[in-house]
Amino acid sequence: MSDKKLDFDFRERLNKISGGSHHNYCYQCGSCVAICPAARFNEDFNPRDILLKTLLGKKEELIGENSIIWKCTNCYSCYERCPQDVRPIEVIIALKNICREDGVLPETVDKFSETISQTGRSVVVNPTVNRRRSSLGLPELQNVPVDDIKKMLE
Ligand code: SF4
Ligand code: SF4
């Protein structure tokens, strides 16, 4: 991070997105890193460092289809652990929402959200799925009210 100038515009934008404003409370203690499973298995992933970059307004390092934020597993462990109520996972989700607004989602995430908006499910249910469910004694999956889902997404 050679450029030391703070990007307040980016921070202001983050403040306006649900969950984003809590980034202001981070005092860089690192407790979130200690509990984070993604950090344990990926040396490049570090929620404390992501929060530092938000505080510095490093948009170019956080927003993009190859951003490190996509390595978060959404486990919410950091939410429970953070002594400052930063809720790092919610800041990361806010950053992901900025990626969506800017049209820079990873291809897999883009397809995933398209499937949800079209079918109401994250995975397409085909006859094979229901046959498998039947063999396990489970009922067939019913259609999801897609119009209701679309309204919610709007
Ligand atoms: S997000 Fe919370 S736990 Fe993580 S470094 Fe900041 S203050 Fe500490
Ligand atoms: S939600 Fe993401 S950042 Fe938080 S502990 Fe889990 S993997 Fe780490």
Give the tokens for residue 136: 């396990």
- pLDDT, tens digit, 9 for 90 and up, residues 94-113: 999 999 999 999 999 988 88
Instruction: Quote the pTM value.
Output: 0.84
Confidence band (pLDDT; 50, 70, 90) for 118?
confident
User: Which ligand does the CA of 35 lie closest to?
Assistant: 2
Q: What is the mean pLDDT of residues 21-27?
A: 97
Domain ranges of the chain: 8-101, 107-153
Burial class (CB in 10 A: 0-12, 13-18, 19+), 145: exposed
User: Best mutation site among 48, 49, 76 for ligand 1, i.e. most ligand atoms within 8 A of its Cβ?
Assistant: 48
CATH fold label, 8-101: Fumarate Reductase Iron-sulfur Protein; Chain B, domain 2 (1.10.1060)
Q: What is the mean pLDDT of residues 77-98?
A: 97
Q: What is the mean pLDDT of residues 52-63?
A: 96
